[in-house]
Chain A
């Protein structure tokens, strides 16, 4: 189990990580979701020991890691650009760690060959050992990078946007394989990504990194359905956030009065989160009576196959997104530039106290 307590890392005056607490359980695939510049790569580099925290502690299996040089941490790292050794063949790349590591280096040639072959088998590169690393495709490079790391049997594997350099097809396939490989090895993976779909697909557990801290870490469906705070909701790219102040049992926002799922005292600043697929759209006159609603101009739609994503601009300029599932169409035919009434049932919304 990896425990991070109060990790802070500053560059100049600004803190990339600010008192971050986080736990990576054993034998788990954890995705770490964060926008670019959120410090997610910094976090990995701190765990790997390429950089050190300004404050806080990193503990792996009861042992303090911070302050230890990277080669004594026994943590694997898979780089976004693969970082294969350009002067070595595939086989030599995979054998590198076993052969040259400080402790427990393997001198026996046959054992080395066997372990390398097994690692290449594991990542589906049987027979590629003699190739040069320039002779193989991006996906294969990714596998070599993985095999090179896994063969040394690290206590934890860090993956820094490992799928970022691959094309979409390959990405989907590598997703499955990464999960399968991990399940076989029973070692924890900490996979950093900026893509919410990748994070939700891959992770048994997903952590959202925002403002230098973990906004929420939870099992992926739990996170998707119940983001604990606006930061987590925003990163999932599935929730509209509407901020305002509670007045007379409803939330007064720049777009209008919105219903509250639970009562709050007047004057409390709060935010409502409504999932893309739980907003209904109606012609301005056709709102069900008694239903709080707000108006927004339809901008454009994005057809994604089984779903359609529609973009609305509320009167205060807020962008509202609505998802319609093809199997269960809820939306009327929309006309670009026309204003519609948007409404949702209060039970569908999440309420966060506090200003945006």
Chain B
């Protein structure tokens, strides 16, 4: 068997693949430290944090206008938060409903999943047409928000469905048999046990919504969200300030991942105290 050379070859290939995946981001990060006079390319004239300062508007006025990200960032965060709450609640409710067998569960399943499949431009266009037709003003907290939920709710639903599938129902029955009402059972037993799943669903929803722009493009109205503010700069000449912004927003995404990881770890270590450490006993 000639896996002898195959394995190292594939390993090298995988390494090149990772370079392909991360290379552009690394180059972007390096170029974000370009000096004021330098363009969005090599060579680096002089290392500086000029474009970071430019981003926050703490440099003297320059010919390059500041990226319009301040208000947009706040809007995007609020929107992502709203989307997270609604889609996690909807996703959890639907997944809970799917634990009961009912007629028509197949079509309903596909209806929900369609939300993550259908291209953003299409629903975006449809929503814009619909709001024009109905005479509703388009706004990030309205028409864009409902589409964000259409997009993230299927993800939350799938995550919760997977979590519910692994969930042992007898603990709920145990709680009921102790005289605890279904509502209290959900609050005291089901929810705490499912919490890691809920956290994952929330992370999905937040990240997807925070980064979403093709659904938002036609439905956002006057006040732009962060990705749209960035998208707006694509058509004009780009400067390293967008690279600096890219580094910061990537760091933000990573922070979110780390916070998620820490929350999960805190939760599972609390659980480990209860369900692990067999040898310590």
**Which of A's residues lie within 8 Å of B, judged by CB?**
48-50, 69-77, 79, 81, 83-89, 96-97, 100-104, 131-137, 145, 148-149, 152, 154
Contacts and interface: CB of A to CB of B under 8 A. Distances in A.
A48 B177 contact: yes
Contacts of A97: 175, 178-180
Contact of B171 (A85, A101, A149): A85
A81 B168 contact: yes
B175 to A, nearest CB: 7
A101 B173 contact: no
A132 B277 contact: yes
A87 B176 CA distance: 17
A131 B275 contact: no
A277 B276 CA distance: 49
A327 B278 CA distance: 45
Contact of A101 (B180, B189, B274): B180
A49 B179 CA distance: 12
A75 B177 CA distance: 6
The 3 lowest CB-CB distance pairs between A and B, nearest first, are A134-B275, A132-B274, A97-B178
Nearest to B192: A87
A228 to B, nearest CB: 33
A329 B272 CA distance: 56
A254 B254 CA distance: 79
9 contacts: A69-B182, A73-B177, A85-B193, A87-B270, A96-B178, A97-B175, A100-B184, A103-B179, A135-B276
Nearest to B180: A100
A70 B275 contact: no
Name A's interface SS.
loop
Nearest to A103: B179
A43 to B, nearest CB: 15
A145 B5 CA distance: 56
B178 A86 contact: no
Contact of A70 (B170, B173, B280): B173
Contacts of B170: 79, 81, 83
B275 A133 contact: yes
Contacts of A85: 171, 174-175, 189, 193
Interface string B177-211: 11111101100110011000000000000000000
Given A71-B180, A135-B273, A149-B178, 12 more contacts: A48-B173, A70-B173, A71-B178, A71-B185, A73-B177, A84-B171, A86-B275, A87-B270, A96-B188, A100-B180, A103-B179, A154-B177
Given A86-B193, A100-B184, A100-B188, A71 B275 contact: no
Interface of B: 168, 170-171, 173-182, 184-185, 188-189, 192-193, 270-278, 280-281
Given A79-B170, A102-B184, A71 B177 contact: yes
A98 B114 CA distance: 45
A89 B185 CA distance: 17
Contact of B175 (A69, A86, A96, A103): A96
B277 A134 contact: yes
Most buried by A among B168, B173, B174, B271: B174
A102 B182 CA distance: 10
Contacts of B277: 132, 134-135
A135 B278 contact: yes
B53 to A, nearest CB: 47
Contact of A135 (B182, B193, B280): B280
B231 to A, nearest CB: 44
A85 to B, nearest CB: 6
Given A79-B170, A96-B188, A134 B177 contact: no
A133 B182 contact: no
A83 B280 CA distance: 23
A74 B179 CA distance: 6
Contacts of B182: 69, 71
A70 B184 contact: no
A77 B180 contact: no
Contacts of B179: 71-72, 74, 97, 101-104, 152
Contacts of B181: 71, 102
A83 B281 contact: no
A111 B176 CA distance: 22
A53 B175 CA distance: 21
A27 B77 CA distance: 63
Contacts of B193: 85-87
Contacts of A137: 281
Most buried by B among A69, A135, A137: A135
B183 to A, nearest CB: 9
A227 to B, nearest CB: 33
A70 B177 contact: yes
